[in-house]
Amino acid sequence: MLKLLLASQNQGKLREMQFILQGLPIQIISPAELDIQLDVEETGKTYAENAALKAKAFAKISGLIALGDDSGLEVDALDGAPGLYSARYAPIPNADDGDRRNFLLKNLAAHPRPWTARFRATIAIALPDGKIHFTDGICEGEIIPDERGSGGFGYDPIFYLPEKSCTMAELAEDEKNRLSHRAKALEKAKDFLIKSASK
């Protein structure tokens, strides 16, 4: 059976990816199962470059096919920020998700609503022969000034989905894992993984 290492130390992302990829004829492995502690510096200029850096680093250290991702929140009123820097957005040491949300809302305060935005994700699957397969996904929505919901992570409590009349953090986990940017990118990756597993 094909073994696939998820190239992330982020527990929220790992849970999401494991949920979405379940049922495939592959064995999904987390870094903790192999006792891998790897913090890959995101020096890329695009989501694809960062996703590839992670996938290649985890593939190299493990000898397995590795799946890395990079994602970001792009807010139109802020010219696409925080974008690539979504996870490192708040300018304070050891900032947490709440700090990043507060900093974003502070920067948006002077701009008229609606604050249209999108989550964007790119998946990179690194193969042992050095080849990399990419897929991506987008989820459109808007930022709201008040946090709602206790699910998800990151910017989910202030990312509002007009067609669902709720935030990403208010969605049931299985619904989020059908609608999210990462879910859409992973759905596209499934065919490639199934073909790889049958070789």
Domain ranges of the chain: 2-197
Question: The tokens 């604050």 sit on which residue?
Answer: 115
CA gap 184, 198 in Å, rounded: 23
Catalytic machinery residues = 70
- Going by pLDDT thresholds of 50, 70 and 90, the confidence category of residue 196 is confident
Among 12-21, 45-54, 108-117, the minimum mean pLDDT is found in: 12-21
- Going by pLDDT thresholds of 50, 70 and 90, the confidence category of residue 120 is very high
CA gap 127, 89 in Å, rounded: 31
Q: What is the pLDDT of residues 46-72, one digit of tens each?
A: 999 999 999 999 999 999 999 999 999
**Over 80: is that where the pLDDT of 19 sits?**
yes
Domain covering 2-197, topology: Maf protein (3.90.950)
- Averaged confidence pLDDT in the chain: 94
Q: At 169, list the tokens.
A: 């953090």
Rg of the chain's alpha carbons, rounded to an integer?
17
Please report the pLDDT score of residue 121 as a whole number. 97
Q: What is the pLDDT of residues 131-162, one digit of tens each?
A: 999 999 999 999 999 999 998 889 999 999 99
> How much of the chain exceeds pLDDT 70, in percent?
100
Q: At 103, list the tokens.
A: 């900093």
Among 33-47, 103-117, 159-173, the minimum mean pLDDT is found in: 33-47
Q: Identify the burial level of 73 via C-beta atoms within 10 angstroms of its C-beta, where 0-12 means exposed, 13-18 middle and 19 or more buried.
A: buried
Please report the pLDDT score of residue 126 as a whole number. 96
CA gap 114, 77 in Å, rounded: 9
Contact by Cβ (8 Å): 138, 184: yes
This prediction's pTM: 0.90
**Over 90: is that where the pLDDT of 31 sits?**
yes
Please report the pLDDT score of residue 198 as a whole number. 79
